[in-house]
């Protein structure tokens, strides 16, 4: 049985969604969940859900909590018994196969990097976010915010990691890898994307060249590579737009009685629709490049997001993704060094 440690104290509404999401994952997915955090708080939450019956869930106590206000450096230096740190240690020490946290993203990344260490050949860990596409299979965008001012070589490393993740987790045969740019033509882009494209052409990837912002959703690419600043903007633009569309639709649908009746009849369509654009269905975003499995969730994650993040962590761990990244990074050292001159 795969064992996933959940940082029970991380999210904006912790530990409620963390405990319920973990319980549901443990019950329905056959995953052992280790809830890490203040024992009495977690027990109080568990008591509310005793009706759910038995599930393979246990608690590991951690006395401290990293808040959203803590800097990554402070969380790392001063809170050595924080829930996320204790959870990461369980993974390092072989007592868990992966960790899930909805806590302070900067702190979680710094702690995971310190506790797990990096896969040789990877300069920086990167966040890989799935986006729903019209064609059904999600597109993976990497990096969505772990790094800014990335170098072309870092983008090439993101491409290698993302390609493996897409292959192993989304079972894409020969993932099409694109560089996010502002036009499909080779001469379009900025210094970073043009140099990265030159490197990518020389790697053993199914590299399709430049893709555009709309290709996050078209399904024309399986892996979309970009600097974390761009990826984070793209992610937040999307979240903001989904929110505004829900708001506008609700407003329009309640404007007249006829529309309200129409809404009642077609409500299930909206539930379908929400599910398909709802980020909580994807659960969380893997941090790739570390010697350990770490899934980062949105601070405002609900129990569904946590449950799905536990599932993603288990798939990530069972797929031996990190071993395969290590092997392919070792093989890419030559071509990447040759691109030094670029």
Q: Kindly list the residues in this chain that would bind a second copy in the complex (CB under 8 A).
A: 132-134, 145, 148-149, 180-182, 189-191, 212-218, 226, 228-230, 232-245, 247-249, 252-253, 255-256, 258-259, 261-270, 272-273, 276-277
Percent helix, strand and coil across the chain, each rounded to 5? 50, 15, 30
Q: Which is nearer to a second copy, 16 or 213 (CB)?
A: 213
Q: How far is it, in rounded angstroms, from Cα 266 to Cα 268?
A: 6
**Least CB distance from residue 27 to a second copy, whole Å?**
29
- 3-state SS of 49-72 is CHHHCCCCEEEEECCECCCCCCCH
- Residue 62's closest CA among 80, 81, 43, 88? 81
Q: Which is nearer to a second copy, 29 or 277 (CB)?
A: 277
**Least CB distance from residue 266 to a second copy, whole Å?**
3
Q: Which is nearer to a second copy, 33 or 208 (CB)?
A: 208
Q: Which is nearer to a second copy, 37 or 231 (CB)?
A: 231
In this structure, what are the phi and psi dihedrals at residue 7, rounded to the nearest 5 degrees?
-70, 100
Q: Which is nearer to a second copy, 114 or 218 (CB)?
A: 218
Do the beta carbons of residue 132 and residue 215 sit within 8 Å?
A: no
Q: Which is nearer to a second copy, 226 or 295 (CB)?
A: 226
In this structure, what are the phi and psi dihedrals at residue 172, rounded to the nearest 5 degrees?
-85, 130
**Least CB distance from residue 261 to a second copy, whole Å?**
5
Strand partners, 37: 61
In this structure, what are the phi and psi dihedrals at residue 12, rounded to the nearest 5 degrees?
-60, -30
Strand partners, 204: none
Question: Left if phi > 0, otherwise alpha if psi is -120 to 50, otherwise beta: which for 31?
Answer: beta
Q: Which is nearer to a second copy, 244 or 338 (CB)?
A: 244
Do the beta carbons of residue 227 and residue 195 sit within 8 Å?
A: no
Q: Which is nearer to a second copy, 237 or 330 (CB)?
A: 237
**Least CB distance from residue 74 to a second copy, whole Å?**
13
Do the beta carbons of residue 158 and residue 190 sit within 8 Å?
A: no
**Least CB distance from residue 187 to a second copy, whole Å?**
9
Q: Which is nearer to a second copy, 230 or 306 (CB)?
A: 230
How far CA 283 is from CA of 102, 113, 256, 268, in Å, comes to 10, 21, 36, 22
**Least CB distance from residue 9 to a second copy, whole Å?**
22
**Least CB distance from residue 327 to a second copy, whole Å?**
32
Cα end-to-end distance, the chain, whole Å: 47
Distant-in-sequence, close-in-space partners of 11: CB < 8 Å, separation ≥ 6: 17, 18, 102, 103, 297, 298, 299, 300, 301, 306
**Least CB distance from residue 274 to a second copy, whole Å?**
10
């Amino acid at each position: 049985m795969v064992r996933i440690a959940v940082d029970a104290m991380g999210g904006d509404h912790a530990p409620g969604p963390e405990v319920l999401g973990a319980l549901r994952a443990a019950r329905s997915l056959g995953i052992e969940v280790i809830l890490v955090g203040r024992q009495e708080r977690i027990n109080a939450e568990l008591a509310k859900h005793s009706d759910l019956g038995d599930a393979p869930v246990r608690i590991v106590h951690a006395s401290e909590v990293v808040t959203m206000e803590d800097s990554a450096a402070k969380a790392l230096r001063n809170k050595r018994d924080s829930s996320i740190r204790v959870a990461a240690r369980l993974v390092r020490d072989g007592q868990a196969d992966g960790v899930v946290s909805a806590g302070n993203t900067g702190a979680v990344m710094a702690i995971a990097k310190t506790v797990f260490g990096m896969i040789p050949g990877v300069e920086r860990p990167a966040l890989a976010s799935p986006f729903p596409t019209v064609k059904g299979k999600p597109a993976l965008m990497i990096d969505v915010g772990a790094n800014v001012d990335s170098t072309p070589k870092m983008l090439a490393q993101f491409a290698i990691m993302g390609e493996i993740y897409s292959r192993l987790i989304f079972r894409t045969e020969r993932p099409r890898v694109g560089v996010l740019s502002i036009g499909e033509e080779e001469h379009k882009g900025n210094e970073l994307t043009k140099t990265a494209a030159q490197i990518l052409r020389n790697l053993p990837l199914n590299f399709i060249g430049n893709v555009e912002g709309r290709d996050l959703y078209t399904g024309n690419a399986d892996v979309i590579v970009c600097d974390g600043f761009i990826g984070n903007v793209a992610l937040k633009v999307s979240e903001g737009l989904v929110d505004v569309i829900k708001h506008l639709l609700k407003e329009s649908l309640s404007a007249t009685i006829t529309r309200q009746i129409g809404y009642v009849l077609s409500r299930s369509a909206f539930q379908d629709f929400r599910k398909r654009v709802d980020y909580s269905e994807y659960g969380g975003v893997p941090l790739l490049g570390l010697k350990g499995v770490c899934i980062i969730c949105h601070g405002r994650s609900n129990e569904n997001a946590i449950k799905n993040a536990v599932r993603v962590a288990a798939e990530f761990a069972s797929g031996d993704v990190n071993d395969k990244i290590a092997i392919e990074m070792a093989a890419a050292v030559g071509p990447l060094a040759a691109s030094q001159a670029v």
